[in-house]
A and B are shown apart, each in its own frame.
Chain A
Amino acid sequence: MDMINVKVNGTQVSVPKGSTVLEAARLAGINVPTLCFLKDINAIGACRICVVEVKGARSLAAACVYPAADGMEVFTNTPQVLDSRRKTLQLILSSHEKKCLSCVRSGNCELKQLAFDLGIEDEDYFSGENHKYEIDDSAAHLTRDNNKCILCRHCSAVCDKNQKVGVIGANERGFATHIGCAFEVGLAETACISCGQCIAVCPVGAITEKDSTGDVLKAIADPDKYVIVQTAPAVRAALGEEFGMAMGTNVEGKMAASLRRMGFDGVFDTNFTADLTVMEEATELVERVKNGGKLPMITSCSPGWVKYCEHYFPDLIENLSSCKSPMQMFGAVAKTYYAQKLNIKPEDMVVVAVMPCTAKKFEIGRDNQSAACKLNEGSAHCEGNSDCKGKGSIPDVDISITTRELARLIKRLGIKFNDLPDEKFDEPFGIYTGAGVIFGATGGVMEAALRTAVKLITGEEASDINFNEVRGTKGIKEATYKVGDLDVKVAVASGTANADELLKKVQSGEADYTFIEIMACPGGCVNGGGQPHVPGHIYNFEDIKAIRAKALYDSDAACELRRAHENPAIKTIYDEFFGKPGGEKAHKAFHTSYVSRGL
C-alpha cells in the first residue's frame, strides 16, 4: 500500500494514500468529532463539526472529506478550531428541541455528548424563530420527531444507499429544510420496510422505535396472565454494549438471569425455534427441489426483507419460503403445544419477544400469524368471534421489543446486569443447537439449513458442517455445494440494496440458484435496526457486523449439537404434538402467506 506522511498536531504519522484527514488524525491518536459523517454512505461534509486547520489552507477544512496529502500539516485543537466547532454546535442546538430529561436517547445522545466534550456553556446562546413539526407515529415500528432532528442525513443515507428504499429524505431548503416523505405523507403510507436502520444510525432522539416497555411491565404485573419471553440469537451478541462491555461479548447467561429477575414465567430462547425453522424450511426446500416447486426458494425469517419483497419484488412472492420466522414459530409453539401442556388458555398467555429488529413490531400484526386459532378452528374461543375468521385474534406473539428496549427495562428495574451470574434458559424451549445460534448473522440461516438439507437429501450427515463460503460480511455471497447427486447453487445477500442487485439477476434469468438467503439489514440481525446505538467514532472505524457475528459463530463452535435435527426438544414437540416437519399440523401452525403491497 502506498503511504504518505502527515503531521497531526506536530506528530508525524504515516497513513495510506487516499486517507482523509479524519482517518489520518485517528492514526495519530486523535479523535476528530463528527456528526454527519457515516463511512461509505454519508461523506457530505455538511455539519462542519469535524473542522480542522490545514497549514496553508484558506479556511478551516472538514476533516471527514478532506484528503490527506504528503507533507500536510494538520491541527485539530487550536483555539480557532475549537471555537468554530462550538459556534456550529450552538447553532445546531438553537433549533433542537432540548427535552433531554425525557428523551429516550438521554443516555447516549451524540449531540449531548458533543456539547459536553466541547464545553458548551449556554445551549440557548442563539435564540430565534423555531419550527414546530408534527410527530410522525403512523408506522407500527417507529416515531419520527423532526423537532429533535439535526439534519445529519444519516437516516436518508442508510434508507437510500444501504437499503435502496429511499422513503425518507430532505424536503425544501434553507431554514425550512426538514426530513420527510414524498408529499409529506406519514411513513405508514410509503413503501417503508420497517427495518429500522434509520433508527440505529440516528445520533439524537429524532427517530426512535415505538417503545413497548410499558406493555411488558403491565403484562408481567397482571396476575391473570402467563407471561413468557423469547430472545433472538443476535440480541446476546450486542446487549452487553448497553452495559459498557466490549462489542462482541456474548451475554447470553446474564441476559437469561436478568429476564428471570424481571418476573417472566418462562425465559426461553428463539434459538430453539430457529432450529424448528430449519426443520420446516429444509423440508420445504427438499420438497420444492424434488417436486418441481418454485425455485429459487428464498428465506423468510427477516420481516424487513419480506416486506421489501412484497413492495419491490411482488413477482417473487411465490419464491418466498412459506415458513414463519423463528419468532412467530416460537409464539405458535407456545400458544398451542405449551399452553395445552400447562393447561392454560392461549388467550391468557402473553408472548414477549426480544429482537434485534424493529420490523418484528410490524410482523406481529401481520395477517395469518395465529397458530392458536388456526389449530383450534371451531373451538369455543373462535366460534362466533368474527375477528377470528381467517385472521385469528390470538396473535402468536403479543409484544416485540428491541435489544435497546430490553436494556432500558433492565436499567429501569435496577437489575445489576454486569454483576449477575450466568444462568441458563428454562427448558424445554431453552435447548438449541449451533444451527439456531448463527441465524443472527448473514449466511447463518443458509448454513443452518444446509446442515440439515444434506441429511434430508442424502440420508447421511454432512462430513464438514462449516459452510465457510457463505460466512463473512460481504453484501452478496455465492457458492455451489455438491449434495448427493445434486449441485445446490446458493446465494446470500444482506442489506436490501444488495438483495435488489441479486434479485435482478434472478428476474433476468442470469442466475439460476436453488436457494437464496436474504436478510434486510447489512450483515444480518447482528446489525439489525433494534440493536444498540453505536456512536460515529466507533461506527466509522470498527467492523461492527463482523465483531458481533463472531460472538455467534464462537457460540456455534462451542455447541455439542450443531445440527437442528439433532435438537432433542425439537424431536419431542414433533412426536408429541406437531407430527412431522411439513406435515398438515406443522403447516397450519408454522407456515404463513404474503401479499403484494405495491409502491
Chain B
Amino acid sequence: MGAVKSTTPFAGTPEQEKSLLETIARLKDQKGSLMPILQEAQNIYGYLPFEVQRTIALNTGIPMEKIFGVVTFYAQFSLVPKGKYQISICMGTACYVRGAGDILDKFKEKLGVDSGGCTDDGKFSLEACRCIGACGLAPVITVNDDVYGKIGVADVDKILAKY
C-alpha cells in the first residue's frame, strides 16, 4: 500500500467539474459505464484524486471502494497528478540491458522524485514504462511526444534543459 493521497492540493476548476458532471450524466446509465467515466475524468483532470472519485461515486451510486479498486487495478489510471512534461523511461529488455536503469536513477536524482511521482512545481512527472517498441534506439525515453534514443546518463541534464 503506497501513498494514495496526492500531496499536491486539489485544484479543480468549475469548468472541469462541469465537464465531469456532464460526462457522468451522459454515461452513467450505460452498462459498464465506470471505465469510460474514469477515462474521461482522467482526461479532464490529468489524474483521479479523492475529490474526483468522490464526485463520481456520489453521482453514479457506485461505491467509492469499487471505483478505487478499479483505479488501482489499471496502470493507466493515476492517483497523482502528471507533470506538464511526462518523462517515460522505457524498461523493455533491450533498453534495460543498455542502461535504462541508470538513466532512470539519474532522472530521479535530478528531479527529486520517485518513479510515478511529480515535481512539486508540477513541471515534470517521471515513470518507468514497458517496451515502447523502439528497441533499435535503446535506451530510449520519451518526454510527452518527443523521443530521445541511444542516450546515456550524461544526456539527462541536456534533455531537462530543453523544457
Contact = CB atoms under 8 A, between A and B. Distances in A.
A18 to B, nearest CB: 23
Interface of A: 133-134, 156, 160, 165-173, 178, 180-184, 190, 599
A171 B63 contact: no
Contact of A182 (B1, B65, B73, B74): B65
Given A178-B1, A183-B50, A166 B72 contact: no
Contacts of A160: 63, 66
Contacts of A170: 69, 73
Which of A133, A173, A178 has the largest number of chain B CB atoms within 10 A? A173
A183 B4 contact: yes
Contacts of A165: 63
22 contacts: A160-B63, A165-B63, A167-B63, A167-B64, A167-B65, A168-B65, A169-B63, A169-B68, A170-B69, A171-B65, A171-B69, A171-B72, A171-B73, A172-B73, A178-B1, A180-B1, A180-B65, A181-B65, A181-B68, A182-B63, A183-B5, A183-B68
Interface residues of B, number: 17
B67 interface: yes
Given A178-B1, A182-B53, A184-B1, A171 B68 contact: yes
A599 B65 CA distance: 12
Given A183-B50, A599-B58, A169 B69 contact: yes
Nearest to A166: B63
**7 tightest Cβ-Cβ pairs between the two chains A and B:** A166-B63, A182-B68, A182-B64, A169-B65, A182-B65, A172-B72, A169-B69
Interface string B72-84: 1110000000000
Contacts of A180: 1, 65
B63 A173 contact: no
A507 B65 CA distance: 26
Nearest to A183: B4
Interface in B1-29: 1, 4-5
A2 to B, nearest CB: 29
Contact of A166 (B4, B53, B65): B65
A173 B73 contact: yes
Which of B50, B67, B69 has the largest number of chain A CB atoms within 10 A? B69
Nearest to A170: B69
Contacts of B74: 173
Contacts of B63: 160, 165-167, 169, 182
Nearest to B69: A169
A170 B57 CA distance: 17
Contacts of A173: 72-74
Contacts of A171: 1, 65, 68-69, 72-73
Contacts of A182: 53, 63-65, 67-68
A153 to B, nearest CB: 11
B89 to A, nearest CB: 21
A156 B66 CA distance: 10
A183 B4 CA distance: 6
Contacts of A183: 4-5, 50, 64, 68
B58 to A, nearest CB: 7
Contacts of A184: 1, 4
A178 B1 CA distance: 9
A180 B67 CA distance: 12
A455 B72 CA distance: 58
A337 to B, nearest CB: 44
Contacts of B57: 599
Given A169-B66, A171-B1, A182-B67, 5 more contacts: A166-B63, A167-B63, A169-B69, A170-B73, A180-B1
Nearest to A178: B1
B1 to A, nearest CB: 5
Nearest to B49: A183
Contacts of B64: 166-167, 182-183, 190
A217 B7 CA distance: 47
Interface string B27-64: 00000000000000000000000100100011000011
Contacts of B5: 183
Nearest to A165: B63
Nearest to A134: B1
A332 B67 CA distance: 43
A170 B5 CA distance: 18
A168 B69 CA distance: 9
A168 B72 CA distance: 14
A171 B72 CA distance: 6
Nearest to B62: A166
A270 B58 CA distance: 39
Nearest to B75: A173
A171 B68 CA distance: 7
B36 to A, nearest CB: 20
A168 B68 CA distance: 10
